[in-house]
Amino acid sequence: MPDAPRTLCGRLRGWGFVLPGLVWTLAFFLLPLAVMALYSLWQRLGMRLVTELSLANYRAFLAKSFFLESLLNSIEVTVTVTLLSILFAYPLAWILAEKVPPRWQRIGLALAVLPFWTSYVVRSYSWLLVLSEGGLLSTALQDLGLVDGPVSLANSRAGTVIGFVHFFVMLLTLTIYANLSQLPRNYRRAAQDLGAGPVRTFLHVILPLTLPGIMVGAFLTFVLCIGDYITPQILGGNRELLLPQTIMLQIARRSDFPMASALAMVLMALVTLVYLACARWLKLERV
Amino acid sequence: MPRALRSALPSPGSLAAGAYAALLYGFILLPVLVLVLFSFQDSRLPVPPFDGPSLRWYGAVFDDPRVMAALGHSLLVALGASAVSLLLGFLAAYGLARHRLPGARGLQLLLTAPLTVSYLIIAMGLLITFNSLGVPRSLWTVGIGHVVINLPLCFAILYSQMGGHQAQIERAARDLGAAEHQVLLLVTVPLLWPALFACFFLSFTFSWDEFLIAFLTSRFDVTLPVEIWSMLRSGLNPKTNAVGSFVFLISVALVLLLELVVFGRKRR
C-alpha cells in the first residue's frame, strides 16, 4: 500500500512528515517520563534535593501504611466501580440495541451520554448538589419520611463510587452498544433454530461475542478511574485518600517531587500490569 | 383477553426493560438536571426548595472578570493546542501511511503511547521537567501539555482513515503532474475533511475540559476548569451552577454543530 518513492530522497521526505510529531512526543512525553523516573530515585530531605540515586522513596512507599493504604483504597474503589459500571451499563446497552427502534437508537444513545458534555469538574460538583447534606437526596428522603435528620453521602467512599459509576456507566454503554449493534441478527436466529431459549442464547452466544466490548470498556474504566484525582477529591473528601490524592498531596503541600514521582511510577506500573493482563482481549494493536 | 388487545399491550419483558431504562436515564441525567435547575435559584444556596427562576447568578458570572478571563484563556489554549495537534497528527499519519519507513511499527506505538498514560502522570512529568529546566508555568506550558494528549488521538484517527483507496487517488494526481504539496493540499486534505474536522473538534473538547495538566502547569493565568475548581472552595454556590450550565450549553451546541457538519454530509 505505501506506494511513494522508494528512493533515498523519498524516504527522507517521509521522515520529514513524521519528524515534528515525533520530536514533540519525545520532548514533552518521553523525556518528562524519564525525568520523573530519575526524580523518583532522588530524595527530598528538608528543603534540600539529594541527587544521589537510592530506592529510599520506594522503601518509604512499602514501609509507610499511609501510602500502601491509599494504593489499596484506589484498587478497591476502582474494582468496585468497574464491576458496578458493567453491571448497570450492559442491560442499558442491550435495551438500546435490541428493544429500541433503529431510528431512535441514536437519540437514545446521545441522551445516555449527555452528561459527558458537562465539564469534568462540574460533573463531580453536580453530584455534590445531590449528595451533600441538605441536598436533593437528603431532602427527598426526609420528605418521604425515610430518615429523620439530614443525610450526606458526600465526603465518603460512597460519594466517590457514585460519581465514578455515573461517568463510567456512560462510557461502557457506548462500548458495549457499539459491540452489540454489530452482531449479525442471524446468530440469534441460528441459536433459536438449534433449540436454545432466550437465556441460553444470551449466555452462550451474545455474552461471549460482546466480551471484547466489555473488556475494552472495563480496561478504559480501570485506567481512567485509578488515575483520577478530581472525583475522589470533590466527592470523597480527605477522610480516606486514593493514590492520586496522595500524589497530589506530595506535590501541593510538601513539594516532595521525588516521593510524588515514585508514587506515580507505582501507579504506572499498576496500569501496565493490568494492560498486560488484558492485552489478549483488548487487541489494541489492531486499532 | 382479545388477541388484538394483548398485542397492543407491552409484554412484561418490555415493561421491565422500559422501567430499567427509565431508572438508568434518571441516574445519568439527574446531576445535569439539578445543576441546570439550581443555576436559576434566587437565594444563596443551590439546594431545595427551588425559589427561582432568576438570572442573577448568570449576571454574577458575566460580571466576574476572573471567570471571563479564564474563559478566554480556555478558548485560546483549546484552539491553539487543537490546531497544532491536528497539523502534527496529520503530517505524521501521512508520512507513515504513504511512505515506507524503517521502524514504522515502533513509531506508531511511540506516537500513540500517551493515550495509555493517565493525565496525572503526564502533568507531573511536565511540571517536574519544566521546573528543573526553569521554564515558567504559563498558558504556553498548558498548551504544550494539551498537544501531548491530543496529538496521539489525531494521529490514530487520521492514520486509520488513510486507506488504499485514497492512496490511489493521490497516485493518480501525482501521475497527472501534481507536486507533493499539491497532492497534500488539493487531494488528501479534501478527502479527509470530515475526519480532520472530527479530530479538531475532539481535541478542542478534550483541551477545553482538561483539568489536571492545566492545574499543574499554569500559574497566574488559568483556564476555565481550574477557575471553576477554585470556585468550589466556597462550597455549594448557584454561581458555580451557572458557570457549569453555561459551559454545558456551549459543549452541546458544539456537538450539534459537529453532527450537522460531519454526519449530516455523510448521510446525504
Q: What CATH number corresponds to the domain at position B133? A: 1.10.3720.10
Percent of chain B with pLDDT over 70: 94
User: Residue A156 pLDDT > 50, yes or no?
Assistant: yes
Q: Are B146 and B210 in contact (CB under 8 A)?
A: yes
Interface ipTM: 0.86
Contacts of A244 in chain B (CB under 8 A): 120
At B184-207, the pLDDT tens digits run: 888 888 888 888 988 998 899 889
User: Residue A9 pLDDT > 70, yes or no?
Assistant: no
Q: Report residue A254 CA to chain centroid gap.
A: 27
Mutate to test the interface with B, among A13, A121, A221 (most CBs of B within 10 A): A121
From the list B25, B87, B128, which residue is nearest A112 (CB)? B25
A3: helix, strand or coil: coil
User: Residue A285 pLDDT > 80, yes or no?
Assistant: no
Decide if A13 is inside a domain.
no
The Cα A260–Cα A263 span in angstroms is 5
Contacts of B110 in chain A (CB under 8 A): 22, 25-26, 30
The answer on B13 and B70 residing in a single domain is no
Contacts of A32 in chain B (CB under 8 A): 122, 125-126, 128-129
Cβ under 8 Å to B: A residues 149-168:
166
The answer on B105 and B175 residing in a single domain is yes
Decide if A114 is inside a domain.
yes
Contacts of A229 in chain B (CB under 8 A): 120, 212
How far apart, in Å, are the Cα atoms of A132 and each of A138, A199, A236, A245? 7, 41, 11, 20
State which residues form the domain around A267: 40-286
CATH number at residue A124: 1.10.3720.10
The answer on B87 and B46 residing in a single domain is no
- CA–CA min distance A57, chain B (Å): 16
Domain count, chain A: 1
A197 in reach of chain B (CB within 8 A): no
Q: Which of the residue ranges A103-112, B79-88, B135-144, B258-267 would you say has the lowest mean pLDDT?
A: B258-267
Domain count, chain B: 2
**More confident site: A210 or A229:** A229
State the pLDDT confidence band at B242, using cuts at 50, 70 and 90.
very high
Strand partners, A48: A45
Q: What are the backbone angles phi and psi of residue A170, rounded to the nearest 5°?
A: -65, -45
A48 in reach of chain B (CB within 8 A): no
Q: What is the dihedral of CA A76, A82, A83, A87, to 10 degrees?
A: 150
From the list A6, A29, A120, which residue is nearest B100 (CB)? A6
Q: Are A133 and A152 in contact (CB under 8 A)?
A: yes
Please report the pLDDT score of residue A1 as a whole number: 41
State which residues form the domain around B35: 3-56
Contacts of B44 in chain A (CB under 8 A): none
Please report the pLDDT score of residue A185 as a whole number: 78
The answer on B245 and B170 residing in a single domain is yes
The answer on B169 and B100 residing in a single domain is yes
What is the arithmetic mean of pLDDT over A61-71?
A: 91
Mutate to test the interface with B, among A15, A22, A25 (most CBs of B within 10 A): A25
The answer on B150 and B234 residing in a single domain is yes
State the pLDDT confidence band at B101, using cuts at 50, 70 and 90.
confident
